[in-house]
Structure 1
Amino acid sequence: MTTFFDLEIQVQPEHIDLLGHVNNVVYVSWMQDVAHAHIAALGVGLEQYMQMKHAMVAVEHQMQYRKAALEGDQLILRTWFSDLNAMYSFREYAFFRVRDQALIFLAKTKWTCIEIATGRPKRMSPTFLNAYQPLDPEINPYDFSDKIEAS
């Protein structure tokens, strides 16, 4: 069992769309950013993918936009693994806005392992299975109270 991973960011002008809030596509980019930072922290990042000649790729997303993020907002992008089997890993995300202590975005992604050369699915290696463990069920990933106290 593992814990969650946090990446703290500030919303920049380039994240804002014509409606004055963070564009929906940016959230997907942030999902990728925090997932890549998480796997790198686990020691099984993109460099290791290339060495192993296989990688994890997203095959399905579910997203819920709860509140708009605005320029200058401080956000905590949190991710964790919620499930794992021989073919798929399941990652969840919760994006938290510090100023009003709001969960602004929730998402889930289903990932599968592929051979990089062919793009064909393959069973996950023990390297992935050992590193990408689901969140300890005793941990509440939606509890940001330690981040509120720190700010």
Structure 2
Amino acid sequence: MKPFETTIVVDEHDLDELNHVNNVRYVQWVNDIAKLNWNTVATSSIKENYFWVLISHHIDYKQAALLNDTVVIKTYVTKAQGVTSTRIVEMFNKNTSKLLAKSETNWCLISRKTQKPARITPEINSLFF
């Protein structure tokens, strides 16, 4: 697996009424880093022919992130076979290294031409492993 990483700084738009990062934001960050990872590693040709759709999502919330916290978001694919892949996303507080949330998502590769599931090609598989 090839880990991919980005960081974000929590701002007031990320907070809920308890002044913690809203759970919905964590879900958005999971989606955002998956998309960023794909757009960074996939060639133009691959992106012209395929896209991913989310088919299931599980997230464990461990600790709250607060205003101005820097969050390190790491992702990697643990499995890619047939038409599906499993992606892990881990979010850490940069200053304390404490795990804030961990997500496991399952994705299906879709052919742009047919709009149907497509087998993961060796070329696509090599992007993640």
TM-score, normalised to structure 2, is 0.88
2:42 and 2:124 in contact (8 A); partners too: no
Deviation at 1:32, TM superposition (A): 1.4
Matched, 1:26 2:25: yes
Show CA shifts across 1:53-108 (max 9, x none): x2111101110000011110011000001111021111101100022221010011
Amino acid at match of 2:35: H
SS at 1:34's partner residue? helix
Partner of 1:64: 60
Give the deviation of 1:9 after TM superposition.
0.8
Match of 1:64, SS? strand
**In structure 2, C-alpha distance between the alignment counterparts of 1:24 and 1:44, rounded to whole Å:** 32
Contact 2:79 2:85 in 1 (8 A): yes
Q: Residue 125 of structure 2 aligns to a residue in which SS? A: helix
- Specify the SS of the correspondent of 2:31: helix
Secondary structure of the corresponding residue to residue 66 of structure 2: coil
Q: State the one-letter code of the partner of 1:107.
A: S
Instruction: Report the identity percentage.
Output: 26
Distance 2:97 2:110 in 1: 38
Amino acid at match of 1:93: V
The correspondence for 2:70, drawn from 59, 74, 81, is 74
Match of 1:43 in 2: 42
The answer (yes or no) to whether the contact 2:80–2:120 under 8 Å persists in 1 is no
Distance 1:129 1:89 in 2: 9
| Offset, 1:118 | 5.3
Structure 1 unaligned regions, length at least 5: 134-151
Aligned partner (choices 99, 105, 110) of residue 103 of structure 1: 99
Q: Is the 1:44–1:131 Cα contact (8 Å) retained in structure 2?
A: no
**Could you state the TM-score of these two structures normalised by the residue count of structure 1?**
0.77
> Who is 1:129 aligned against?
125
**Is 1:4 equivalent to 2:3 in the alignment?**
yes
Indicate the RMSD between aligned Cα atoms, in angstroms.
Answer: 1.9
